[in-house]
């Protein structure tokens, strides 16, 4: 009852107002959190996709190693490999049987072929490096 006392009804009404504010804020915050998490998960998905596509198609070392592996596997000695900044050019002169095997291997790997020319005894292809 001294001057430091707060009117209990005033206190009660104030706490009700604070409670209402906190409930509304919590509700908004939860909605925002859910939206943000959905958005963030989408972004994580995009980043993973970006990384996967980049590793598959843009990784120059990987593309080069795939091409080299095919040539080594087929034991081709006279393959002419020219590596530029933006592409790998391969010229293989061999008999149709070998070339057929190389083509099969080439088409079964994820290689960014930008040009390809197959004739009876020659296979020329270019692999793009972004």
Partner 1 sequence: MSRNVLIQNKNSINLFDVKEEVNIILCPTLYSVRFFDIPIESNSELKLVIPNFFEDFFDIEGYSFYHIKLEKYKYMCFAYKQDEILEILDKINLELKYIKKIYFLQNEINFENNIIYNYKEIKYICSDNIIVPMPKNININSNCTEINTEEFSLSKYNIFLNKSSKYIDNTTAYILSFIFIMFSLFNFYKINANGTEVSIYEQKINSLKQKYNVPSSMIQTKSIINEYKDIENSYIEFLNAFEYILKYRESSNTLLKSIEYKNNRIILNMNNKNKVNIERHIQKKYKILNSRAFNDNLLIEIKI
Where in 21-50 is the site for partner 1 (CB under 8 A)? 21-23, 25-26, 29-30, 32-33, 36-37, 40, 43-44, 46-50
Q: Mention every residue, 6+ apart, whose C-beta is less than 8 A from residue 60.
A: 129, 130
Reported for 79-84, long-range contacts at CB under 8 A and 24+ positions apart, including other chains, are 84/129
CA distance between the termini of the chain: 81
Taking the complex as a whole, the smallest distance from the CB of residue 103 to partner 1 amounts, in Å, to 8
How many angstroms separate the CA atoms of 62 and 72, rounded? 15
Count other Cβ atoms within 10 Å, centred on residue 5: 8
Residue 77 contacts partner 1 per CB under 8 A = no
Judged by CB, which is closer to partner 1: 6, or 77? 6
- Residues at the interface with partner 1 (CB under 8 A): 1-3, 5, 7-12, 14-16, 18-19, 21-23, 25-26, 29-30, 32-33, 36-37, 40, 43-44, 46-51, 53-54, 56-58, 107, 110-120, 128
């Amino acid at each position: 009852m001294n001057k430091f006392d707060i009117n209990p009804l005033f206190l009660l009404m104030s706490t009700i107002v604070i409670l209402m504010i906190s409930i509304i804020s919590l509700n908004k915050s939860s909605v925002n959190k859910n939206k943000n998490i959905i958005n963030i998960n989408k972004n994580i998905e995009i980043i993973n996709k970006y990384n996967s596509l980049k590793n598959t198609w843009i990784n120059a070392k990987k593309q080069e190693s795939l091409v080299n592996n095919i040539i080594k596997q087929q034991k081709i000695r006279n393959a002419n490999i020219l590596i530029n900044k933006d592409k790998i050019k391969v010229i293989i002169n061999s008999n149709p049987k070998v070339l057929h095997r190389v083509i099969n291997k080439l088409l079964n790997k994820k290689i960014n072929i930008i040009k390809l020319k197959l004739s009876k005894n020659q296979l020329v292809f270019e692999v793009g490096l972004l």
